[in-house]
Amino acid sequence: MAKNIKWIQVDADTQVSIAIANPKTGATNPNLSGLVEKFDWGSYHYGSCDDGVTIDNSNFIYEISDGEYIADIVGKINEYVDAWKVHAYDYEKDLRKVQLGTYSDSVYASASGYKYDAATAFIDNGTANAGLTTEAFYRGCTVSTLANKIKTNHEAYITNDAKISGLRGMLIDRIDGINAGLDTSTVAKALESYAGIHTEEKVGTRPSGIGTGTEDINAGFYNPAGLSQRFDATM
């Protein structure tokens, strides 16, 4: 048998809680028989120890019930859920700067839609408006070259913009569904659910070494930190 406990770390030498006195020899987990740590949340670490261990509440070590343990596991999961929802948009902004930043001046300036319409009209029927002919003249290229460049860049922007939005949206949908999939019937099941939100999946492959060898590209199934890896895997 084992006890469910939570604790604040202790001084490695004195075994006094760091909540009582600043550690002089470094903070560590208490020296308890059979201690197994599962996760930490705030100042507290959670896990179990042998059933025969005497728990010292005065040293910020507490035995907790199954219900209390499960509630704190869910609390820790929800902390990730809340953070990942925010971080997903932060990672999206960073990815947009990298992937879409070079298009900003030439494609999505104020006249971008107008220029795209003019370019596709020229490609379709050979009729160039004053904007295309003027820009081509000052750029030193043909109207055909300019029109095709505008069309290519504009459509690449649209595709990459949609890809980034779709990948971020997929992750947000997954994160929103985390709580519905939690199993809180027992401590063991709740811990499995906690471990499950940190799983990864294969999103693609990349060349490895010389020749035709490849290696997997993995990203968190829920964690949005892998957004750029997901995007790269679709290239």
118 and 59 co-located in one domain: no
One-letter amino acid of 225: A
**143-172 pLDDT, tens per residue?**
999 999 999 888 888 899 999 999 999 999
**203-216 pLDDT, tens per residue?**
998 888 777 788 89
12 and 88 co-located in one domain: no
Query: What's the structural domain count of the chain?
Result: 2
For the cut 90, the answer to whether the pLDDT of residue 128 exceeds it is yes
- The answer to whether residue 122 sits within a structural domain is yes
Looking at residue 54, what DSSP letter applies? P
59 and 173 co-located in one domain: no
105 and 219 co-located in one domain: yes
166 and 126 co-located in one domain: yes
Domain range for residue 12?
2-64
Choose the final residue of a domain: 64, 87, 117.
64
Which residue, chain included where needed, has tokens 């469910």?
Answer: 4
What pTM value is reported for the model?
0.84
97 and 152 co-located in one domain: yes
One-letter amino acid of 207: P
- The answer to whether residue 69 sits within a structural domain is no
In the numeric block, which tokens belong to residue 44? 């507290």
